[in-house]
Structure formats: structure tokens, C-alpha cells
Amino acid sequence: MKRRTFIQNTGIATAGLFLNKAAAFAAAPGNDFPVVRVPAASRNFTSKSVENAITEFNTNVKSKELGWLFSNCFPNTIDTTVFHTTNNGIADTYVITGDIDAMWLRDSSAQVWPYMQFVKQDKDLQAMIAGVINRQKICVLRDPYANAFYKDENKESEWVKDLTAMKPGTHERKYEIDSLCYPIRLAYNYWKITGDTKPFDEQWQQAIKTTLQVFTDQQRKENLGPYKFQRTTPFATDTLPMDGYGYPVKPVGLICSAFRPSDDATVFSFLIPSNFFAVVSLRQAAEMMTAIAKDKTTATRLTALALEVENALKQYATADHKVFGKVYAYEVNGFGSFNLMDDANVPSLLSLPYLGAVKNTDPVYINTRKLILSAYNPFFFKGKAGEGIGGPHVGKDMIWPMSIIMRGLTSNDNTEIKKCIDMLRTTHGDTGFMHESFHKDDPKKFSRKWFAWANTLFGEFLWKTYKEKPQLLS
């Protein structure tokens, strides 16, 4: 199934969800909610700590609907998308996105991220996440310019018309900065929480060196680098112009990203949210290469690149807006052109505090937030059902729940956080799960019934709110 496929609520088979149209309900107090979570015997992976969190949440949160949504959404990744094994004592975990049988470096990292907080008391969960790290390092070494991979390393891609250097085992070869940052984020925080260094062997260290080489090449200081991509497609966002290299950039120290985290092509290749993410990831990788690998040479190069990108962001990442003042641009080209917008997928400008790239009190971020949550952002949609950010990937008037979740996760405002929770509670389309997107006026018109990242991220948002601001869940 193609990632772009637009799935309305028309009954596409989605293994593990067992949605039943007869189970539709009126979300009124006191109503019983239909059982839509996959049965225990059919779950791919079970975590005692996750089950305990579900029990605790339902015991203490008065809203039965939020309890039902948390019970469905938070475990969705491990229930339905994780395939965990141990081979010769080495953990291996393949993670699909949901309705697509392929493992995205970005999605797989983000899908298991919300469980990280439980690994210290759950060795099985720790082993599962270690398995994700182990598989990701193999994927990066297979092709650091690819964004998605098959479980079968010999399987040929379905994208037979792509004009790029495809390799067996690769599902799609859309180069994105964030696809190389997410595995570092996962690895770094796994190490910090568990202290376990077993996954960070010579192979992992080589994957870090490979990532460093890609980022250096994609600064395009001397030439365009080894990567190019074109696809025979009616969608302009699925291919790159200028012989597959994208529009020209001026080499100013930023890193090019051919595609956004939505898997849509960039307009200007210096994608600002992803460059911010790269600064964080490069420094995390440098710390690990110093402490674990004792490789000061590579660590020094990683740190130097992080500083160079950071300085370039200070000089080129902002623009002056006539209404909001100094804001972060979404994309720039180094020549002075910039794109003012935001996309729902993470990394986004909205998500920068969530990724540890800027503080949510940063004045430029505050201005940017006001812009991207307004009609000045061409992909901010507001209708009868809700309001939020979408993007060109699904199209006009389609709001991504991920953007509403991220708005809540990056807010200090109780009223705003509660507003986000209420919008998510009322826009699941009577399914009990989050989706890729929903229509601004009709939540029953949505794309992707089975999208584990949005589900588990919503669970993370609810759990964080429960722990820090439980009064907002009443």
C-alpha cells in the first residue's frame, strides 16, 4: 500500500483494529464504548508497565471516553506494529507504520519513543527498544539516503519507476535529515535512561560516521553530492526538480534535505526544523562517541558540524513578518528566499521544543507559533470539527491530529492544552483511534485508519497531562 493512499472511512481492512460500523456510538456520559483494541491473544507484544499505566489512567481519570481512547491508542504500536525477536542473544525489532508493511526510520523511532519512560522497570520493553536500535543501525548502513526499509533484506522495492540508486531491502529512498536524526534521539535517550551500551557496537558507531558523512556531503559546499531522486508520478511533491537534486541552494553551512518528514519534497532544500533537529542529534551523537566509543576524533567532527549548522541557523533561519515580527522560516535557500508555513509532521516548527531544539519561551518561537497557528500559515485549517495544521501530503482542509497533539505537548497554557484534548476527543470519527488526518468539518472523513505513530503520540500526550495536570482530564 502506498503511503500517499487516501483512505476514507469506507472499510479498508486494517489488521489489529477490528473496527465495526455497528459499534458506532453517541459519545454521551454513561454510554458504554465498543471494544476496538485488538484482543490480548492477538497482540504482537505485551508490556506489563504499559498495561499498568492503562489501568492507572482508567482508575484515576473520570472521563470514561478519555480512558477508552488511552486504552486503545497508547498501546497501539506494541499491539499491532512491533515484530520482536532475539537472534543469538541480540534483540531485533521490526516496526511497521500500521497499514504499510515497511519500517520508516522516523516513524519507528517515534512510535516506540513514548514507552521509553517505562523501560527501567520493564526489561522486556527495554529489549524491544534495543531491538529497534539494532535494526535501525543496519538500515542506515544499508543505505543512509533511504527513509524506509523492508524486513526482508532481499526484497525489491515496489517503486520500480524511481530514478535513484535503489538497493534490495529498501522500500523507499527519499532522503530526509530527520530519518537520520530520529535513530540518534532514540539511542541517546535509551542510553541515558538504561545505561546499557550493548547496542552501540562497532556497527552502530559506523552508522554514526555514515550519518556524519551524509550531513557533510549535503551541505553541498563543493558539489551536489551523490544523491538524486526522481519519480514518474502525477504528484509534484513526490519527485525532485533540476535532474533530481532539487532547486539550487547557496552553501552557507546548513544541511540539505530533499524531502520533508511528510515524505513530500522540499521547496527550498534547507529545511529549518530538520536542521534544528540535526544540531541536537549531532551533539547527542558526539557525547555517545566520546563516552562509549572513546572516539574523540569523530566526536570533534560531530560537534564542529553542530556548531556550524547552529551558527548558520542564527543567520539564515529567520524572517521578518509584517504581523508577527521575527519568525522562523520553514525552508530557506541561502540566497534570501524563504517559505513561511508549517507542516504537521515532526520535526516541524511547532515541535521544536518537543525535540529539545528551542525552548517554548524563546521569543522567536513564540512569534512563529502565533503565525503557524493562524490563517497566515497556508496549511492551518479551521472548521466545524476543529482546527490544526495539515500539509500538502493529504491535501487542503485535512487536519492532522499529530499537529493538535504537538500543540498540546509544547504548550504551557492550561486552556490551550485542554482545548487540544477536547478536539482530539471529538474528532476520532467514532473509531476510538487517531488518524493521519481528518476533514476540518467532518471527522468521519479521515485518512489512514491504522496509523500507529498518531495513536501512540496521543497516548503520550494524555499520560503527560495525567502526570502533570490531571485536572485537565476531568
DSSP 125-193: HHHHHHHHHHHHHHHHHH-TT-SEE-SSTTPPPS-TT-BS---TTEEE----HHHHHHHHHHHHHHHHH
402 inside domain = yes
392 inside domain = yes
16 inside domain = no
Q: Which helix (H) or strand (E) element contains residue 307?
A: helix 296-316
Q: Where do we find the cell 516541524?
A: 348
10 inside domain = no
Cell of 100: 504499510
What is the full per-residue pLDDT of the chain (474 aa) written as tens digits? 344 443 333 333 343 443 333 333 333 334 579 999 999 999 999 999 999 999 999 999 999 999 999 999 999 999 999 999 999 999 999 999 999 999 999 999 999 999 999 999 999 999 999 999 999 999 999 999 999 999 999 999 887 789 999 999 999 999 999 999 999 999 999 999 999 999 999 999 999 999 999 999 999 999 999 999 999 999 999 999 999 999 999 999 999 999 999 999 999 999 999 999 999 999 999 999 999 999 999 999 999 999 999 999 999 999 999 999 999 999 999 999 999 999 999 999 999 999 999 999 999 999 999 999 999 999 999 999 999 999 999 999 999 999 999 999 999 999 999 999 999 999 999 999 999 999 999 999 999 999 999 999 999 999 999 999 999 998
| pLDDT score of 17 | 40
Q: Do residues 169 and 155 make contact, with C-beta atoms less than 8 angstroms apart? A: yes
| pLDDT score of 31 | 53
By C-alpha distance, which of 268, 409, 418, 401 is closest to 345? 401
154: buried, middle or exposed (CB in 10 Å: 19+, 13-18, 0-12)? exposed
Structural domain boundaries enclosing 399: 21-473
**Domain tally for the chain?**
1
| pLDDT score of 9 | 36
In whole angstroms, what is the distance from residue 212 CA to residue 293 CA? 15
| pLDDT score of 160 | 75
DSSP 273-295: HHHHHHHHHHHHHHHHHHHTS--
81 inside domain = yes
Q: Do residues 31 and 45 make contact, with C-beta atoms less than 8 angstroms apart? A: no
In whole angstroms, what is the distance from residue 429 CA to residue 269 CA? 36
In whole angstroms, what is the distance from residue 325 CA to residue 291 CA? 42
In degrees and rounded to multiples of 5, residue 442 shows phi and psi of -150, 100
For residue 200, give the CATH number of its domain.
Answer: 1.50.10.10
| pLDDT score of 161 | 83
| pLDDT score of 159 | 77
In degrees and rounded to multiples of 5, residue 189 shows phi and psi of -75, -30
Strand, coil or helix: what is 326? strand
266 inside domain = yes
DSSP 386-449: -EEE--TTT-TTEE-HHHHHHHHHT---HHHHHHHHHHHHT-STTSSS--SEEETTEEEEEE-S
273 inside domain = yes
383 inside domain = yes
